[in-house]
Chains A and B, each alone.
Chain A
């Protein structure tokens, strides 16, 4: 079914970002997204570390 669709796409000439991809510029987009994603995740881990310290302090008091 997929090959039928590809065939149809070639006949209808559905525009896709093919040249953008072959230029390798897509990797720039991916790199930007990954930097943001990983930055936010590192931040989540840091928040978690702060929470852990607070939890330990409360446990010590009890």
Chain B
């Protein structure tokens, strides 16, 4: 994380990838699928929100574990800010998903297992911020929220990746629904989708580092 603060090269990679995704993502050939039609391109914007969220929450958990081993204001700050931007990615993911679903599944909320599970996952993280807000003692806040954050991440993985696969889902790759990689996530989509995941995740980390640096300045001023 310290290296991420000081270096800039990964930000330029992020910019290049996002420019590539928003131009070639609209220009490239895509599989002609019924119902989805051109909206298949939403894949490069909606799905990376979820991937980015997971990577940001993963970073957050790593700093929560560090916080338990070596309590410091810095570890707590990094963990909290990564969780915040991760939650924003999740909210954007759910909103874009609802908008996409309105035109493909016929309604914004079909109570699809993955929709419900991701909503529950986000609520778990909302509770994390309420928990932080309700404890006034700084050290206690850092310790309890670190423990809760680990629990939240461990709960999120089965919610998003295991439970929706046990039943039928409208989402591809779940239940009886063949995944994108079965035939429709062909190489032309993949060549944009993977860079999109990296680009959007880096953007999330970039914004997080700005907020963390602001927090570190505040800690120094208060000290």
Query: Which A residues form the contact surface with B (CB < 8 A)?
Result: 1-2, 5-6, 8-9, 12, 14-17, 26, 29-30, 33-34, 37-38, 41, 44-45, 47-48, 51, 54-55, 58
On whether A34 and B186 interact (CB within 8 A), knowing A14-B37, A16-B38, the answer reads no
Whether B3 is near chain A, meaning CB under 8 Å from some CB there, is no
Do A30 and B32 touch across chains, with their CB atoms under 8 A apart? no
Which residues of chain B are within 8 angstroms of A34 by Cβ–Cβ distance? Answer: 19, 22-23
For the complex, give the distance between the alpha carbons of A39 and B216 in Å: 27
Which residues of chain B are within 8 angstroms of A8 by Cβ–Cβ distance? Answer: 32
Whether B166 is near chain A, meaning CB under 8 Å from some CB there, is no
On whether A16 and B32 interact (CB within 8 A), knowing A34-B19, A44-B207, A55-B213, the answer reads yes
Whether B217 is near chain A, meaning CB under 8 Å from some CB there, is yes
For the residues of B in contact with A, the DSSP-based class is helix
- Tell me how many residues of B have a C-beta within 8 Å of chain A: 28
A48 CB to closest chain B CB (Å) equals 6
For the complex, give the distance between the alpha carbons of A42 and B206 in Å: 13
The chain A residue sitting closest to B30, CB to CB, is A16
Which residues of chain B are within 8 angstroms of A2 by Cβ–Cβ distance? Answer: 31, 183, 186-188
Whether B106 is near chain A, meaning CB under 8 Å from some CB there, is no
For the complex, give the distance between the alpha carbons of A15 and B217 in Å: 54
Do A58 and B27 touch across chains, with their CB atoms under 8 A apart? no
Whether B156 is near chain A, meaning CB under 8 Å from some CB there, is no
Do B34 and A1 touch across chains, with their CB atoms under 8 A apart? no
Do B213 and A5 touch across chains, with their CB atoms under 8 A apart? no
The chain B residue sitting closest to A33, CB to CB, is B22
Do B186 and A1 touch across chains, with their CB atoms under 8 A apart? yes
Which residues of chain B are within 8 angstroms of A47 by Cβ–Cβ distance? Answer: 210
For the complex, give the distance between the alpha carbons of A41 and B213 in Å: 18
The chain B residue sitting closest to A17, CB to CB, is B38
